[in-house]
């Protein structure tokens, strides 16, 4: 099976998102949400297992939970959108629109990954109470939104893969 050529992938992307900046922002935000959630979970598991270069972040002996970084991303993207930077008006704004959408999606995932902390006001991240329901809801919600906003794009991407496989 051959891999699709990069220009063909770009053409498919432009076909599905080129004229609809809102849809593109929703799609990019959803993909960033899913990717940031998976990455955050992977890193926290690696820290707990003592695997790899990852370590807890601390300032002055105080543990800094990763939701702090998520909140910073949400505040930054929210402020930029408030002053209408990166809202997808077209032209020179397109790159900022994509960046702020990704920042919003990733910030949301990183913040919601510690939802149990703000709900219970205690660190229950590794307990059953803090993980199972949140994992299921967030993971399903992220996957669903990626499919919802990107369904036509993915449909054509899979059709292209089938075409190349024959």
Residue by residue, pLDDT tens for the chain (166 residues) are 677 788 988 898 888 888 778 888 888 988 998 899 999 989 999 999 999 999 999 999 999 999 999 999 999 999 988 887 766 665 556 888 889 999 999 998 898 888 877 777 778 778 877 765 577 667 767 776 877 777 888 888 888 888 888 7
Specify the pLDDT at position 74: 95
DSSP state of 77: H
Whole-model pTM: value is 0.79
Specify the pLDDT at position 144: 67
Specify the pLDDT at position 137: 62
Cβ contact 88:20 at 8 Å: no
- With tokens 């220009």, the residue in question is 7
Specify the pLDDT at position 136: 60
Specify the pLDDT at position 44: 92
- Which of 31, 21, 1, 7 minimizes the C-alpha distance to 154? 31
Give the model confidence (pLDDT) of 2-20 as tens digits: 777 889 888 988 888 887 7
Cβ contact 117:130 at 8 Å: yes
């Amino acid at each position: 099976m051959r891999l699709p050529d990069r220009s063909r992938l770009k053409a498919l992307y432009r076909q599905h998102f080129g004229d609809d900046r809102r849809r593109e922002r929703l799609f990019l935000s959803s993909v960033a949400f899913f990717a940031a959630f998976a990455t955050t979970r992977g890193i926290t598991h690696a820290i707990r297992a003592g695997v790899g270069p990852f370590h807890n972040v601390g300032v002055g002996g105080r543990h800094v939970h990763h939701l702090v970084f998520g909140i910073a991303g949400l505040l930054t993207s929210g402020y930029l959108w408030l002053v209408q930077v990166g809202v997808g008006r077209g032209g020179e704004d397109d790159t900022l629109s994509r960046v702020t959408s990704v920042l919003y999606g990733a910030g949301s995932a990183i913040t919601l990954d510690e939802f149990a902390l703000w709900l219970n006001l205690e660190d229950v991240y590794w307990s059953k109470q803090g993980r199972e329901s949140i994992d299921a809801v967030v993971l399903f919600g992220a996957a669903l939104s990626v499919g919802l906003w990107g369904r036509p794009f993915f449909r054509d991407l899979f059709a292209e893969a089938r075409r190349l496989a024959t």
